[in-house]
A and B are shown apart, each in its own frame.
Chain A
Amino acid sequence: GENVEQHPSTLSVQEGDSAVIKCTYSDSASNYFPWYKQELGKRPQLIIDIRSNVGEKKDQRIAVTLNKTAKHFSLHITETQPEDSAVYFCAASRSGGGADGLTFGKGTHLIIQP
């Protein structure tokens, strides 16, 4: 089955600086890679996702890059703000018409220092 590794487990950055979180996956058949933000006790919220036919996607301060050959993808947050503090999870899936669940990384606790 799929295995997703995520690093770092904790990331502390100064407000205004950039944050980068990296993930690797093992299943070459995976073709959908979402990133979620989760606040304590709440449901995961999708912040950005990318499919395997695209190398990069950007949405305002958030971007995701995918290297399918190396099987790794990264989340980039620029101009970080205090409200960006949360736990972030990467995930991978064979989208397969919605028939497959997500395999999550272990999460990164992002701390934005004022």
Chain B
Amino acid sequence: GAVVSQHPSWVICKSGTSVKIECRSLDFQATTMFWYRQFPKQSLMLMATSNEGSKATYEQGVEKDKFLINHASLTLSTLTVTSAHPEDSSFYICSARDPGTALNTEAFFGQGTRLTVV
């Protein structure tokens, strides 16, 4: 299947600083990527839909000024957690669908980024 790579795998940052997470589609082009957040022992929650060349679409309750998304190319989306606080500590995972596959339904996930804010 298609490969989605996420970087970094884990990051520790100080409260008040910003952290950037990258999501790359390695062998296909993705006009749309998705960002999820997963707290310990909980489910994945869709945060936002990242659209290449246009503004991201945020889910209800997700602060767009805090979670900045940039999708400047067909293979890269970035999520920047601005002014991070301990409550932002979570597992962040991106996904993308390969438009070249039949039916275009399977979502391929990055390996996730464990963010710890201290």
A residues with a Cβ closer than 8 A to B are: 1, 32, 34, 41-44, 46, 49, 51, 89, 93, 95, 97-107
Contact = CB atoms under 8 A, between A and B. Distances in A.
Given A101-B34, A101-B49, A102-B34, A49 B105 contact: yes
B112 A43 contact: yes
Contacts of B68: none
Contacts of A103: 46
B107 interface: yes
A95 B43 contact: no
Interface string B48-60: 0100000000001
A103 B49 CA distance: 13
A46 B60 CA distance: 26
B103 A106 contact: no
B99 interface: yes
Interface of B: 31-32, 34, 36, 42-46, 49, 60, 91, 93, 95, 97, 99, 103-107, 109-112, 114
B107 A34 contact: yes
A42 B38 CA distance: 11
A102 B46 CA distance: 7
A105 B44 CA distance: 8
A89 B34 contact: no
Contact of A97 (B42, B93, B104, B114): B104
Contacts of B109: 43-44
Contact of A34 (B43, B91, B106, B111): B106
